[in-house]
Amino acid sequence: MKFDQSLLAFVLNASAILANPVGSKGDFQAKCAAIASKLAIQNGNVYFSQSVTAGTNLTLPDNDPSCAQSFIVVTADICRIALSVSTSKTSNFSMEAWLPSNWTGRFLSGGNGGLNGCISYQDLAYTSALGFSAVGTNNGHNGTSGRPFLNNAGVVEDFAYRALHTGVVVGKNISKAFYGKQHKKSYYLGCSTGGRQGFKSAQAFPDDFDGIVAGAPAIAFNNLTSWSGHFYLLTGPPTSSRFVSQAQWLTVHSDVLKQCDALDGVVDGVIEDALQCNYDPTGLTCPEGTTNSTSCLTPTQVKTVKAVYEPLFNRQGDITYPGLQPGAEVVASFVILNGVPFSYTTDWFRYAIYNDPSWDPTTQDLDDYDYAAKLNRFNIETFDGDLGGVQKRGTKVLHWHGQMDPIITSENSPRYYEHVSATMGLSPSQLDEFYRYFLVSGTGHCGGGDGAHAIGQGTGEVNSLDPKENVLMALVDWVENKNAPETIIGTKWVNDTQSLGVKFQRAHCKYPKRNHYKGTGDPNVVSSWECIDVKR
Ligand SMILES: *[C@@H]1O[C@H](CO)[C@@H](O)[C@H](O)[C@H]1NC(C)=O
Ligand SMILES: *[C@@H]1O[C@H](CO)[C@@H](O)[C@H](O)[C@H]1NC(C)=O
Ligand SMILES: *[C@@H]1O[C@H](CO)[C@@H](O)[C@H](O)[C@H]1NC(C)=O
Ligand SMILES: *[C@@H]1O[C@H](CO)[C@@H](O)[C@H](O)[C@H]1NC(C)=O
Ligand SMILES: *[C@@H]1O[C@H](CO)[C@@H](O)[C@H](O)[C@H]1NC(C)=O
Ligand SMILES: *[C@@H]1O[C@H](CO)[C@@H](O)[C@H](O)[C@H]1NC(C)=O
Ligand SMILES: *[C@@H]1O[C@H](CO)[C@@H](O)[C@H](O)[C@H]1NC(C)=O
Ligand SMILES: *[C@@H]1O[C@H](CO)[C@@H](O)[C@H](O)[C@H]1NC(C)=O
Ligand SMILES: [Ca+2]
């Protein structure tokens, strides 16, 4: 992370700051050691509190192996508190609070990912080092599998909304008990399932946060899970004549770029607004008599490719979920287009929808998808269009989505934005007051990708703490100083390696505008581009 002194002053000294009543380092450590026995958490069981100094490589022996996080390097002096909270006779969640010695008076909760089950230690480290009193939970179960949902409604309820909300209530209490005063502002940072959790808060618990960053949200959750599963029906296994190989998807990707890369004015391998791209693979049809070529597709494979980009509809013709946006096909060929049933889909149907571990994902069909949508356990769909709660309270929602996301198509994000607009009867300029959506071009699922994907969304994706370049600090600036973001500048490093320097930067636009090259100037710099109006 690049620490510039003036930016550090912004992060650590804005309005609320240095609310920290804790004196010297020794006082901080003593206070931390003592806090565990002083906390009174309803239904809670505090395991320990320990002070951890900056630079410590913390081992996490209790973390489920499937979470793939057995250690984390802590970059600030923190007080680490671990506890569990029971939520019903059969359910509980684990959580941690990382309370920095350099507290800014700000509180923050992170979220989760996929079907897990894993405290996001990365987010705890990132945000506590920025001066937030940071909390995160395991969302009610341990590990990445959906198996704990089986015949245990309490665990599903925790996953749908309860662990996050309860963790916030408890976390605020812990922060207050430790610092001796209430936080000034409360924030949320999450992506994927974490993005869904951010929208769940906006829809159902508007008092939890003053500002929410929701990236690549897994909203319309049941339908997303059905959509992820349906690719297996389109491709079949790798032996099927419908299946398209990874080498062929590379060919398709080149063809996508041929048709759509220049729509934004520059041929650079990045499609700024995937919604502008109406890709047609027909031109890739192999000449008759060709066999086994990676540079063309059989007519049957052309059908598969077309269907991948088309929305999924049910038998009545209602949309279940939009199509994959063109541009993400190469990574998608390793994930949802690999000829294997998608594991989250299998787990969700087995353990949450049917409570039947023997349910066979190769038998899935549109009736299963309708059933899951109707059942909608604990309203996990998270697609309520009324954000009146956050609007009234003044909470700000910063929504973003990578335009080459291979796991959650970015086309679902404008669908939700338009749903909010229609439900509330508000135009984009009216929504701007409390809800803004950014199209982050060239960015995969929550990070990575061919474009300017580092926007400060988490560890490894931080070019700067300047609010212009950092979604979290942009949100803070919006909430505390009323500086609402018009764009979010993203960075692409040389070889995706920060120490090698900046390859290019781009200011990602706020929907419904899209990014377009001005026609002159270096396309690698922000000022050569502009956000233009587009008929949607
Ligand atoms: C932290 O410790 C683990 C072993 O517990 C080790 O594998 C890892 O390399 C260490 N990381 C750093 C940055 O020291
Ligand atoms: C706390 O902030 C000060 C600057 O305000 C900095 O010098 C110090 O390194 C920070 N300490 C930690 C542990 O982050
Ligand atoms: C939490 O609930 C699980 C069952 O879902 C149980 O196995 C575990 O022991 C419980 N843990 C605590 C700390 O209550
Ligand atoms: C998760 O793991 C922790 C640490 O091993 C354990 O205390 C807790 O009970 C587990 N929770 C569940 C729901 O099984
Ligand atoms: C935390 O909540 C408990 C009740 O669960 C309450 O007794 C206590 O005063 C609260 N502490 C703070 C600091 O708000
Ligand atoms: C098709 O080509 C691949 C390598 O590109 C080869 O492994 C495979 O055997 C070929 N199949 C047929 C039916 O020719
Ligand atoms: C989910 O899909 C069903 C059809 O399977 C549809 O009726 C419903 O409107 C969809 N809901 C959302 C939020 O997309
Ligand atoms: C960039 O990465 C490639 C391989 O991934 C390597 O061959 C090349 O040397 C790297 N360039 C620099 C400047 O490090
Ligand atoms: Ca382009």
Chain segment 442-488, per-residue pLDDT in tens: 999 999 999 999 999 999 999 999 999 999 999 999 999 999 999 99
- CA-CA distance, 157 to 149, in Å (whole number)? 9
What pLDDT is attached to residue 22?
54
**pLDDT at residue 15 is higher than 50:** no
34 C-alpha to center of ligand 3: Å?
Answer: 26
Strand blocks (E) in 273-363: 312-313, 319-321
Band (23; pLDDT cuts 50, 70, 90): low
End-to-end Cα separation, the chain, in angstroms: 38
Beta carbon of 318 within 6 Å of any ligand 7 atom: yes
**pLDDT at residue 267 is higher than 90:** yes
Beta carbon of 86 within 6 Å of any ligand 3 atom: yes
Q: Which 3-state string (H, E, C) describes 455-511?
A: CCCCCCCCCCCCCCCCHHHHHHHHHHHCCCCCEEEEEEEHHHCHHHCEEEEEEEEEC
The question of whether 192 is a catalytic residue gets the answer: yes
- Cβ-contact 45, 87 below 8 angstroms: no
292 C-alpha to center of ligand 6: Å?
Answer: 6
Instruction: Assess whether the previous peptide bond of 117 is cis (omega < 30° from 0).
Output: yes
**pLDDT at residue 201 is higher than 70:** yes
Chain segment 349-378, per-residue pLDDT in tens: 999 999 999 999 999 999 999 999 999 999
- CA-CA distance, 205 to 208, in Å (whole number)? 6
Mutate to test the pocket of ligand 7, among 196, 318, 368 (most ligand atoms within 8 A of CB): 318
Between helix 25-38 and helix 163-179 the angle, nearest 10°, is: 130
From atom 9 of ligand 5, which residue's Cα is the shortest distance away? 40
Ligand nearest to the CA of 293: 6
Task: Name every protein residue with a CB atom under 6 angstroms from any ligand 1 atom.
Answer: 57, 59, 71, 73
Q: What angle do CA 78, 84, 87 make, to 5 degrees?
A: 135
- CA-CA distance, 506 to 463, in Å (whole number)? 12
Pairing mode, strands 91-100 and 78-88: antiparallel
Beta carbon of 102 within 6 Å of any ligand 2 atom: yes
Which DSSP state fits 339? S
Chain segment 119-136, per-residue pLDDT in tens: 999 999 999 999 999 999
What pLDDT is attached to residue 3?
38
* Mean pLDDT (whole number) for 196-218: 98
What pLDDT is attached to residue 8?
45
Write out the DSSP string of 423-444.
Answer: HHT--HHHHTTTEEEEEETT--
Beta carbon of 77 within 6 Å of any ligand 2 atom: yes
**pLDDT at residue 506 is higher than 90:** yes
Give the pair of three-digit tokens for residue 321: 């979920």
Mutate to test the pocket of ligand 7, among 312, 320, 348, 353 (most ligand atoms within 8 A of CB): 320
Beta carbon of 84 within 6 Å of any ligand 3 atom: yes
- CA-CA distance, 36 to 47, in Å (whole number)? 8
Kindly state the helix (H) or strand (E) to which residue 164 belongs, with its residue range.
helix 163-179
From atom 1 of ligand 5, which residue's Cα is the shortest distance away? 173
Selection from 401, 398, 419, 400 nearest residue 410 by Cα? 401
Ion ligand 9, residues whose Cβ is below 5 A away:
261, 264, 266, 268, 270
92 C-alpha to center of ligand 3: Å?
Answer: 6
Looking at the chain, the whole-number percentage of residues with pLDDT higher than 70 is: 96
- CA-CA distance, 314 to 175, in Å (whole number)? 47
| Nearby residues of 74 by Cβ (< 8 Å), 6 or more positions away | 52, 53, 54, 55, 56, 57, 58, 98, 125, 128
From atom 2 of ligand 2, which residue's Cα is the shortest distance away? 102
499 C-alpha to center of ligand 8: Å?
Answer: 12
* Mean pLDDT (whole number) for 136-148: 98
Band (389; pLDDT cuts 50, 70, 90): very high
The question of whether 419 is a catalytic residue gets the answer: no
51 C-alpha to center of ligand 1: Å?
Answer: 19
498 C-alpha to center of ligand 8: Å?
Answer: 13
* Mean pLDDT (whole number) for 241-260: 98
Which DSSP state fits 141? S
From atom 11 of ligand 8, which residue's Cα is the shortest distance away? 495
Ligand nearest to the CA of 56: 1
Which residue is catalytic, options 268, 405, 450, 477?
A: 405
What pLDDT is attached to residue 24?
83
Mean model confidence pLDDT for the chain: 95
Q: Which of 8-22, 104-118, 452-466, 510-524 has the lowest mean pLDDT?
A: 8-22
**Does residue 512 sit in helix, strand or coil?**
coil
Band (25; pLDDT cuts 50, 70, 90): confident
The question of whether 445 is a catalytic residue gets the answer: yes
What pLDDT is attached to residue 536?
82
Which residue's entry shows tokens 């939890």?
A: 208
